[in-house]
């Protein structure tokens, strides 16, 4: 049994900071009591949190294998063109494909385990895994067609992080049914085969694991397949999350306009029933009308600030989107960085740099930018995960990130300012004292029990993948 209790002098509840909060959860790790202003009698005998308590943060976008070469593509790989430089998202993708082609089930599991331990240490308590390296190196399915997916589920279980597994449907190399490239052979499924894969995985997804579907992008999935796959998913699970990459690069927008006469986000909103069960990953390049329509759809914009910066995608124009009530959350995507604080900080900083203003994403309700960012990202991330997480409220899972109230950077500060320091005055993860999922302690004083073993396996796996 896993039932337990925690008392927090300050906690970030959905409506804002509350004092003297008593938390109780049941044997499944679900919160059954969240009582602010609890008295001394309530607090007696209950373990006290080490500092202000936050909801654990869902990570809404991850390609786990990309952790294996994070930081290793920061050199010029394409000859510079006329007076310009030609390295881009697309040249990075060539290097990424080279790495993807070498993965094995064992190396994938080693990389994912290390990554998920890192995520927990960074305050992420659940991850949406947008998984597309399905088949063997020759492009043929493994004897167990779900092999790679099952390894990811196992890595998440061993690390203790929640997971929304999103098997990726990938069929074409570009708009208009352009045939897939040889380098994409490990990603491909006919629509029926993808629905078979989902049926195979469904029995493995319960408790801390949820199953959804990710049509990779409008480039990789033709319209008929998109409709058929989403309908097939809905027949299995009407509420299951659907994630798609969209409008990350200007080139995608241009190609979509050339072929359909419409911009990608507008095309998707016109042709699919986009609602709160959807997550549009990146959605960087939208015009005013697309932004308004997306904000009103209830779908989540999946913002991945450090990856979008790393790949030169562009800046998501957040102020008008948030002003219209648009939902959003954060993902670590290519894992150029694995840090809740850094994603939130860079999201706000992108706006400041563009607008030449400060505290752009503060709101009337939340004058502290960090409060607003944290609550929005937790709620949007939870919606995208399709799991009962992301809020300190009855019925939600007891996922906590506890700040270290004794750390010199935070000592003596009220919760709201402590969170602002955690997000904006960079101390790495030092200011996090404890991370729990479903009530269980996964990280304490920055350390996860699997760290030494996972680290060793990771470096061995990476070394084997980088040798020629």
Interface with ligand NGQ by CB under 6 A: which residues? 63, 93, 217, 245, 248, 307, 311, 333-334
CA 140 – CA 332 distance, rounded (Å): 29
234 touches which of Zn ion, ligand NGQ, none (CB within 5 to 8 A by kind)? none
CB of 307 to ligand NGQ, least distance (A): 5
SS3 147: helix
CA 242 – CA 231 distance, rounded (Å): 11
Which residues are paired to 34 by β-bridges?
A: 23
Q: How many CA atoms lie within 13 A of 35 on its CB side?
A: 14
The H or E element spanning position 236 is: helix 223-236
CB of 114 to Zn ion, least distance (A): 19
Instruction: Decide if 333 is catalytic.
Output: yes
User: Taking CB positions, which residue lies at the least distance from Zn ion?
Assistant: 333
Closest CA to 311 of 250, 264, 268: 250
CB of 313 to ligand NGQ, least distance (A): 8
CA torsion sign for 147, 152, 153, 157 is positive
- Would you say 245 or 366 has its CB closer to ligand NGQ? 245
User: Checking DSSP bridges between strand 209-211 and strand 300-303, what pairing results, if any?
Assistant: unpaired
User: Taking CB positions, which residue lies at the least distance from ligand NGQ?
Assistant: 63
- Would you say 29 or 381 has its CB closer to ligand NGQ? 381
User: Checking DSSP bridges between strand 57-62 and strand 209-211, what pairing results, if any?
Assistant: unpaired
CB of 201 to Zn ion, least distance (A): 20
- Would you say 139 or 414 has its CB closer to ligand NGQ? 139
248 touches which of ligand NGQ, Zn ion, none (CB within 5 to 8 A by kind)? ligand NGQ
DSSP code for 371: H
User: Could you tell me where the beta strands, DSSP code E, fall in 272-428?
Assistant: 278-282, 300-303, 327-330, 400-403
CB of 255 to ligand NGQ, least distance (A): 12
- Would you say 255 or 434 has its CB closer to ligand NGQ? 255
- Would you say 50 or 188 has its CB closer to Zn ion? 188
Span from 191-199, 251-259, 331-339, 432-440 in contact with Zn ion (CB under 5 A): 331-339
Of 131, 135, 189, 333, which is the active-site residue? Answer: 333
Of 282, 285, 366, 429, which is the active-site residue? Answer: 282
How many residues bind Zn ion (CB under 5 A)? The answer is 1
Whether the Cβ atoms of residue 151 and residue 103 lie closer than 8 Å to each other: no
- Would you say 333 or 376 has its CB closer to ligand NGQ? 333
- Would you say 63 or 383 has its CB closer to ligand NGQ? 63
Task: Quickly count: other Cβ atoms within 10 Å of residue 358's Cβ.
Answer: 10
Instruction: Decide if 371 is catalytic.
Output: no
Tokens of 255: 């190609």
Q: DSSP 3-state helix, strand, coil percentages of the chain (rounded to 5)?
A: 40, 20, 40
CB of 399 to ligand NGQ, least distance (A): 26
Tell me the C-alpha to C-alpha distance, in Å, between residue 341 and each of 119, 173, 239, 304. Answer: 12, 35, 30, 12
CA 341 to chain centre: 13
Q: Which long-range contacts (CB under 8 A, 24 or more apart) does 34-40 make?
A: 34/392, 34/393, 34/394, 36/11, 38/7
Span from 101-109, 218-226, 293-301, 326-334 in contact with Zn ion (CB under 5 A): 326-334
DSSP code for 49: P
CB of 61 to ligand NGQ, least distance (A): 8
317 touches which of ligand NGQ, Zn ion, none (CB within 5 to 8 A by kind)? none
CB of 13 to Zn ion, least distance (A): 32
372 touches which of Zn ion, ligand NGQ, none (CB within 5 to 8 A by kind)? none
CA 66 – CA 429 distance, rounded (Å): 21
93 touches which of ligand NGQ, Zn ion, none (CB within 5 to 8 A by kind)? ligand NGQ
307 touches which of Zn ion, ligand NGQ, none (CB within 5 to 8 A by kind)? ligand NGQ
- Would you say 225 or 284 has its CB closer to Zn ion? 284
Give me the active site residues, please.
Answer: 282, 333
Chain residues that interact with Zn ion, rule: CB under 5 A:
333
């Amino acid at each position: 049994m896993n039932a337990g209790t925690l008392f927090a002098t300050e906690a970030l509840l959905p409506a804002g900071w509350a004092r003297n909060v008593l938390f109780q959860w049941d044997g499944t790790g679900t919160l059954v009591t969240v009582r602010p202003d609890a008295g001394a009698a309530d607090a007696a005998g209950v373990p006290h949190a080490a500092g202000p308590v936050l909801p654990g943060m869902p990570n809404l976008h991850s390609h786990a294998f990309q952790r294996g070469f994070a930081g290793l593509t920061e050199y010029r790989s394409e000859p510079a063109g006329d007076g310009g430089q030609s390295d881009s998202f697309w040249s990075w993708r060539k290097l990424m494909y080279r790495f993807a082609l070498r993965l094995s089930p064992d190396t994938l599991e080693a990389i994912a385990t290390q990554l998920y331990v890192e995520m927990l240490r960074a305050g992420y308590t659940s991850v949406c895994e947008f998984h597309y390296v399905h088949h063997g190196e020759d492009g043929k399915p493994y004897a167990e067609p779900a092999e790679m997916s099952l390894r990811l589920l196992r890595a998440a279980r061993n690390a203790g992080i929640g997971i929304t597994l999103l098997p990726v449907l990938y069929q074409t190399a570009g708009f208009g049914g352009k045939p897939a490239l040889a380098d994409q052979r490990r990603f491909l499924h006919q629509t029926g085969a993808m629905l078979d894969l989902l049926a195979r995985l469904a029995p493995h997804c319960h408790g801390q694991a949820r199953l959804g579907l990710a049509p990779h992008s409008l480039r990789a999935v033709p319209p008929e397949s998109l409709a058929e796959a989403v309908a097939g998913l809905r027949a299995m699970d009407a509420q299951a999350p659907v994630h798609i990459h969209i409008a990350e690069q200007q080139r995608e927008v241009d190609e979509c306009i050339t072929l359909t006469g419409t911009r990608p986000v507008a095309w998707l909103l016109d042709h699919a029933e986009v609602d709160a069960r959807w997550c549009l990953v990146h959605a960087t390049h939208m015009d005013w009308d697309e932004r308004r329509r997306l904000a009103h759809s209830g779908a989540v914009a999946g913002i991945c600030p450090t990856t979008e910066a790393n790949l030169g995608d562009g800046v998501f124009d957040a102020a008008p989107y948030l002003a219209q009530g648009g939902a959003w959350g954060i993902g670590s995507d290519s894992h150029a960085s694995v840090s809740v604080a850094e994603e939130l900080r860079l999201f706000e900083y992108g706006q400041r740099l563009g607008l030449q203003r400060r505290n752009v994403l503060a709101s009337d309700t939340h004058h502290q930018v960090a409060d607003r960012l944290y609550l929005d990202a937790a709620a949007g991330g939870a919606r995208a995960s399709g799991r009962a997480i992301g809020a300190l409220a009855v019925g939600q899972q007891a996922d906590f990130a506890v700040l270290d109230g004794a750390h010199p950077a935070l000592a003596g500060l009220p919760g709201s300012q402590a969170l602002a320091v955690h997000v904006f005055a960079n101390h790495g993860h030092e200011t996090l004292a404890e991370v729990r999922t479903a009530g269980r302690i996964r990280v304490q004083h920055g350390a996860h029990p699997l760290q030494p073993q996972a680290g060793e396996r990771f470096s061995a796996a990476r070394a084997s993948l980088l040798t020629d």
